[in-house]
Amino acid sequence: AHARFHPNYDESKVGTYTLPDPLLMSDGRRVANTNQWLALRRPEILSLYKEYIYGKSPPACKAVARVWDVDTHALGGHAIRKQINIELFSPISTNRVVLHVLLYTPADKERAPTFLCLSFDPNYRDVPDPLVAVYPTWNRKTDKLVPPPRKVVRGKSHNWPVNEIIADGYGIALVDYNDIEPDFADGSGWRYGVRALFLKPGQAPNAVPDAWGAISAWAWGASRILDYLLTDTNVDPARVIMLGHSRLGKTALWEGAQDSRFPLVIASSSGEMGASLSRRNYGETVTSMSKAFPYQFCPNFLQWSNRIPSMPVDSHMLVSLIAPRPLYLNTGSLDQWSDPRGEFEAAIAAGPVYRLFGEETVVSNLPPGNAVLNSSVLESFPPPPLDVPVMHDIGFQTHTGKHDILPQDWRRFLDFADMHFYGKQPHRYLPRK
């Protein structure tokens, strides 16, 4: 048994550190312009994440999308609902995986910007629509495919306020991430998910050091859904937003880093190995993650468990891979395990990369050069007040509350998208009294 992990929640004990420089190339040269970043340094950082953190994903396989339900008067006549089964075929066996995608777009809009949301629940539990199909789902507690309950509770989740999203002129595509790969605590869900499509009989998913882990699998599945969305006549193909929460927030970041077809990314409470700095000893750590969730990463990741300062990357580099595209980080005041402060500091430390593109991250008074890679400089920036989002090319908010996507967070998400897609001024948010 592993020794019990005791997280640090004392700011005086986070330690001092210097972050790796995202603008320093492996040959020692400094990135001087956006061309060098895009052609040389960005691919280096992406390669480091593939080799040492999340693993290398395969190219797309054969996929067949079947739109089997279309309702042009959904949600009281305000939306068009489509239910799509995307069947993914193994290139080496008869294996296949089916993704159940639920798509709503505004009835009064020809092509709508659309949120692609990875959910922890099946579609019929996510929305209060009695016509959403009920189907067998993977149970994370029993590790089994179970039939739907006799009495289905619809719209149980408050994470996806479809009516508000539609009213604002946006679409939303939902999928249960367990469709892509079931998330079993012992990591054995790979047998029933997309990673199994690429494995020969008897072959283990972690046979090579840079084999793709579950986070890469969930991200790869999101790309396959995007492949379909880009062909849907009700979706604006230039404005599909990647969104996820918690481990799916990590997935959203990694997916946004790899697939630049997403013009905007929203990561909610992505925490350790998402947007929160690993070298900052606060809340969850690489050490605890490597013991609790090794299956989410490539085998190479485990070597950093007790060598965090030696990691070739930190989360500000993952954030920088999104540049120059807009990124919104959502956190919660009661979610210290995910270290909201560490996400804020990562957004600051990604500033020099965004600055190359003439863009602004979460602070306007960014010091020159690479000074923000020093922990003492990062800690000198006060975080924004609770419930007041920073809205620049990187957005950031800490809501009052827990590890969750709250209904009021969606007003910020929609504002952030409106600002970047349509040049609209966001609402003026005031701190709670």
- In degrees, rounded to 5, the angle at the alpha carbon of residue 82 between the alpha carbons of residues 76 and 86 is 160
What amino acid is encoded at 63 in this protein?
A
Residue 78 predicted with pLDDT over 90: yes
Asked whether residue 57 carries a pLDDT value surpassing 70, the answer given is yes
Contact 344, 396 (CB under 8 A): yes
Residues above pLDDT 70, as percent of the chain: 99
Taking only the tens place, the pLDDT of each residue in 277-297 is 999 999 999 999 999 999 999
pLDDT, mean of residues 355-380: 94
Res 151 pLDDT > 80: yes
pLDDT bucket at 111, cuts 50 / 70 / 90: very high
Query: Is 246 one of the annotated active-site residues of the chain?
Result: yes
| Catalytic residue check, 427 | no
362 pLDDT above the threshold of 90: yes
Average pLDDT value for the chain:
97
The amino acid occupying position 319 is: V
DSSP H helices, 209-334, are 214-229, 247-258, 286-292, 315-320
pLDDT score for 2: 53
If pLDDT is split at 50, 70 and 90, which confidence band does 1 have? very low
Yes or no: domain 14-52+263-288+299-405 corresponds to CATH 3.40.50.1820: yes
Residue ranges, CATH 3.40.50.1820, the chain: 14-52+263-288+299-405
Burial class for 299, CB neighbours closer than 10 Å (0-12, 13-18, 19+): middle
Q: Give backbone dihedrals phi and psi of 241, rounded to 5 degrees, phi first.
A: -105, 130
The CA distance from 42 to 57, in Å, is 17
| CA atoms of 409 and 93, how far apart (whole Å) | 43
Task: Quote the pLDDT of residue 159.
Answer: 96
Catalytic-labelled residue, pool 119, 216, 246, 338: 246
Averaged pLDDT, 290-315: 98
Whether the pLDDT of residue 103 is over 70: the answer is yes
Buried b / exposed e along 118-149 (16+ C-beta atoms within 10 A): bbbbbbbbbbebeebeebebbeeeebeeeeee
Per-residue pLDDT at 320 exceeds 90? yes
* Burial per residue of 178-203, b for 16 or more beta-carbon CB atoms within 10 angstroms, e otherwise: bbbbbbbeeeebbebbbbbbbbeeee
Q: How far apart are CA 165 and CA 169, in angstroms?
A: 7
The average pLDDT across 153-157 equals: 89
Beta carbons within 8 Å of 114's beta carbon, 6+ residues apart: 103, 105, 170, 171, 172, 173, 229, 235, 236, 239, 240, 241
> pLDDT tens digits for 167-209?
999 999 999 999 999 999 999 999 999 999 999 999 999 999 9
State if pTM tops 0.95. yes
